[in-house]
Every structure is written in structure tokens, then in C-alpha cells.
Amino acid sequence: MENAKDTFYITLRNRLATLNPNRTMILRAVTRPGILVEEGEAPVAELPLDVFVLRWTKLDADTQLPSILAQMTCEIHYATAGTQNNAGLDRGRALEAMDDELLQLLCPSSAQKMNYVQTQAAQMGTLIFWSQALFAPATTVRERMGSLATVDVFAFQEQGEQ
């Protein structure tokens, strides 16, 4: 399952770097595309703005198939307070831009599964694939507008894979 989660994140990250090279963040002294896996970073009191945050929640497994099919639910959280130049009055537009970016990041909805535990990432035998994003109603806390999209990611368990 971990390989599928890693592959999903790296796929979205690489797509974001191509789609919107300006959406970057500085995290642990590294400038990188504005997307992160929550469980792979230091805990924070409040999620960062203008960044996509992946949170893995639910796990299901279909054991009736020749290979176990794992279904993992990924919540993608993002929020914005607009830009300083517009005094935050463009926060609705900024959130809309992130909605649009996310939809584009998720297409096409499959990727070759990779193993990133090795020093040189190794291609695995199957694909991971995911459902369409389900968007929850946007939330507003003072000037902070947030959104949440939920995606189900599917992956077959390969031989020897944990």
C-alpha cells in the first residue's frame, strides 16, 4: 500500500510542477511544488495556505480477486487567503484556481506504480488508478477559505509487497 501512496503523491507533485511552476513552497529548506503528504511532514497547528495537503484516511481491501485490491481514501485539503496585492479580496478566485488545478492534476486518473524505497525508484508491474474527486462544500474561517476533495486510490498488491 505504501508504494501506491508514494506513487500517487509523486505523480501529483510532478504534474503540479509542470502545470503551475509558480505554486511552490519552502519546506525544510527546500523549495518544492506546493503539495505535501501530511503524515510525512512535521505536525503543524494549522495547514499551510496555497498548498495541497494529502491526508490518507480509510483503507479497504477486496480479497476475493486473484490479487488483493486495496482501496485507500485520500483527502486533499487546500486553503487560501488570497493574495497580499489584492488584500485578500481575491481569495474566492484563488480557491477556484486551486480547484481547477486539482482537477487537472488528477487527470489522467492512473499512473505506473513505483517503488521509492530503493535509492533508484523502480517500476513495478501494475498501475494505480483513482476515482473522480468528490468536493465537499468550501469552508470559511475568517479570511481563510478552504476546500476538501476526496479521492479513492486503488492498487493491486504485488507479490512480496507490504
Report whether 38 contacts 107 (CB < 8 A).
no
Stretch that binds other proteins, among 6-14, 75-83, 143-151, 152-160 (CB under 8 A): 6-14
Report whether 68 contacts 59 (CB < 8 A).
no
Place of cell 488508478: 129
CB of 62 to other proteins, least distance (A): 26
Q: State yes or no: residue 30 binds other proteins (CB under 8 A).
A: yes
Report whether 127 contacts 113 (CB < 8 A).
yes
In the numeric block, which cell numbers belong to residue 93?
A: 478566485
Q: State yes or no: residue 29 binds other proteins (CB under 8 A).
A: yes
The Cα-based distances of 119 to 7, 49, 55, 116, 122 in angstroms read 15, 32, 25, 7, 9
CB of 92 to other proteins, least distance (A): 26
CB of 3 to other proteins, least distance (A): 10
Q: State yes or no: residue 112 binds other proteins (CB under 8 A).
A: no
Q: State yes or no: residue 142 binds other proteins (CB under 8 A).
A: no
| Cα gap 69→71, rounded to integer Å | 7
Nearer to other proteins, 43 or 160 (CB): 43
How many C-beta atoms surround the C-beta of residue 61 within 10 A? Answer: 13
Binding-site residue total for other proteins (CB under 8 A)? Answer: 20
| Cα gap 105→9, rounded to integer Å | 11
Stretch that binds other proteins, among 25-33, 69-77, 87-95, 130-138 (CB under 8 A): 25-33
Nearer to other proteins, 64 or 118 (CB): 118
The footprint of other proteins (CB under 8 A) covers: 6, 9-10, 13, 27-30, 32, 36-37, 39-43, 45, 116-117, 121
